[in-house]
């Protein structure tokens, strides 16, 4: 990153993917190549983890992102519970499957709540919109990560180490 007169640092150009990992479904979002706007991609069934990992690897191959951002569920106080441990394990396996594309864990507190509120406000009912809420949560995660990087000049969250 090189500081410039416009802001704290130059923003890394390139598409990103975001993943909102849930037990039943995994929401996926993508940014534009300039990293300005996050949009929904699809909802991947999450119960069959190997199949979900394969589909995510296919999306990485198709989109060729700079990195994949995975939402890390934390409590409001910032602590981590069993859900965070599951997401960390999932992200570790994903990082192994898509090497050399980096995987980053970012705080996703309230992303699903924010997504659900936005969906309700736009008239999408909860029953019909469950799979779309997962995509919308991934959009919220990615948009927050993009804005964090633009504001700080540093990649968001923490990089997942690939353990072989």
Q: Which domains does the chain have, with CATH numbers?
A: 16-159 (3.30.420.140)
Residue 26 has pLDDT above 70, yes or no: yes
Q: Whole-angstrom Cα distance, residue 90 to residue 160?
A: 11
Torsion-angle region of residue 78: left (phi > 0), alpha (psi -120 to 50) or beta? left
pTM across the whole model: 0.84
| Percent of the residues in the chain that have a pLDDT greater than 90, as a whole number | 65
Q: Of the ranges 26-40, 47-61, 117-131, which one carries the lowest mean pLDDT score? A: 117-131
Q: Is the dihedral of CA 107, 112, 114, 118 positive or negative?
A: positive
Mean pLDDT of the chain: 86
Q: What is the dihedral of CA 59, 92, 90, 55, to 10 degrees?
A: 20
Cβ–Cβ < 8 Å for 118, 136:
yes
What integer pLDDT is reported at residue 1 of this predicted model?
Answer: 40
Q: Which residue has the higher pLDDT, 116 or 164?
A: 164
């Amino acid at each position: 990153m090189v500081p410039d007169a416009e802001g704290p640092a130059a923003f890394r150009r390139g598409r990103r993917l975001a993943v909102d990992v849930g037990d039943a479904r995994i929401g996926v979002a993508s940014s534009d190549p300039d990293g300005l706007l996050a949009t929904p991609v699809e909802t991947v069934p999450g119960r069959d983890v190997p199949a979900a990992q394969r589909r995510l690897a296919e999306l990485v191959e198709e989109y060729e992102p700079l990195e994949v951002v995975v939402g890390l569920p934390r409590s409001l106080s910032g602590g981590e519970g069993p859900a965070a441990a599951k997401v960390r394990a999932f992200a570790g396996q994903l990082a192994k499957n898509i090497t050399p594309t980096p995987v980053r864990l970012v705080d996703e507190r309230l992303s699903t709540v924010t997504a659900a509120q936005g969906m309700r406000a736009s008239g999408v009912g909860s029953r019909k919109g469950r799979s779309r809420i997962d995509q919308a949560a991934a959009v919220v995660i990615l948009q927050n990560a993009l804005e964090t990087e633009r504001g700080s000049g540093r990649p968001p969250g923490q990089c997942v180490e690939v353990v072989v």
